[in-house]
Structure 1
Amino acid sequence: MSEGLSLLSLFASSFLSATLLPGNSEAVLVALLLSGASKPWLLVLIATIGNSAGGVTNVILGRLFPLRKTSRWQEKAAGWLKRYGAVALLLSWMPVMGDLLCLLAGWMRIPWRPVLFFLCLGKALRYVVVAAATLQGMMWWH
């Protein structure tokens, strides 16, 4: 697979992973790291951009379509956002809960600047940890 196609696949998987659709971005990132498809920093950057774009999409949806039904997860996520504000979006990488945090951040009209900062930072940290663990494991086996 060409480098461009690998990066596009990683972006798409990362974007989808930030929605309720399955994307398996960590698995794609690890596979591309193991195959040497591109430089590790570029793979982490592309995964972060794709996943952050998906998270921002959820924030926008939250601003457009206020949530009406209250679920246990929604109440928990809203509680974190009320207590910690945009800092709670450091957890936006978490499955299901992260999607709700992003939707609720939009619904609660949390200002864009802190939303973007903490959302992107949380997503980036996750991919840095995954890449570092993968690369460390590769060095250990060689």
Structure 2
Amino acid sequence: MHEWLANYGFLSLFFLSFLASTLIPLGSEWLVVTMLLSRSDPFAVVAVATCGNYLGALTTYLIGLYGADFLKTRLLRMDPKTTQKAERLYERFGSYSLLLSWLPVVGDPLCLVGGVLRVRFIRFSLLVATGKLARYAAVAWVTLKGAAAI
């Protein structure tokens, strides 16, 4: 599967980044690193990964905005403990906690809670896209610096 994903380049990166931000516990960073080490354009890699990951988070936000509890528990497999962690982050930091939407475990619930709490779309988009862009840019920077040192 690793080889198949690597062979389809940007399309694979987009879909893997999208899925990593929604239903399936996946990581897309390995493909970002693989593509960068294969000499793909770093700006394009970061842009595609960020777009896919943002759109996946937007899907989760829309489920929170319009979805029923059934969708939250069955589709996203959100248990009460994970949802409570996300809600506590919101209580403490407000919508700015969406900057942390890139984090494993609590990132998807943060986007879901953003929808449930009706965070404005523009605010949601700016905060989530900024966080996800920062993550992929950091992965790219570390990868390229490490590759240059070799």
Task: Provide TM-score, normalisation by structure 1.
Answer: 0.90
Percent of residue pairs bearing the same amino acid type: 38
Q: Distance in 1 between matches of 2:14 and 2:101?
A: 17
- Normalised to the residue count of structure 2, the TM-score between the two structures is 0.85
Q: What is residue 61 of structure 1 aligned with on the other side?
A: 63
Of 19, 22, 25, 1:19 maps to 22
Structure 2 regions of 5+ residues with no counterpart? 74-78
Structure-1 residue corresponding to 2:85: 76
Contact 1:10 1:28 in 2 (8 A): yes
Q: How does 1:15-54 map to 2 (within 5 A)?
A: 15-36=18-39, 38-54=40-56
How is 1:123-142 mapped onto 2 (pairs within 5 angstroms)? Answer: 123-141=132-150
Amino acid at match of 1:72: K
Aligned partner of residue 19 in structure 1, secondary structure = coil
The answer for the alignment partner of 2:118 in structure 1 is 109
CA distance in 2, matches of 1:5, 1:88: 34
Using the TM superposition, give the Cα deviation of residue 79 of structure 1 relative to its aligned residue in structure 2, in angstroms.
1.7
- Which amino acid in 1 is paired with 2:61? V
CA RMSD of aligned residues (A): 2.1
The count of residues paired between Structure 1 and Structure 2 equals: 139
Q: Structure 1: which amino acid aligns with 2:106?
A: M
Q: Assess, with a 3 A threshold, how the Cα gap between structure 1 residues 72 and 22 changes in structure 2: closer, same or farther.
A: closer
Distance 1:53 1:137 in 2: 29
Q: Unaligned regions of 5+ residues in structure 1, if any?
A: none
Q: CA contact under 8 A between 1:85 and 1:110: conserved in structure 2?
A: no
CA contact (8 A) 1:62 1:107 kept: yes
Residue 66 of structure 1 and its aligned partner are, at CA, apart by 4.3
Instruction: Show CA shifts across 1:72-130 (max 9, x none).
Output: 22112112113322210111011121000001100111111111100000101000110
Map Cα deviations across residues 35-74 of structure 1 (whole Å, 9 max, x no partner): 11x2101100000000000000000001112448762221
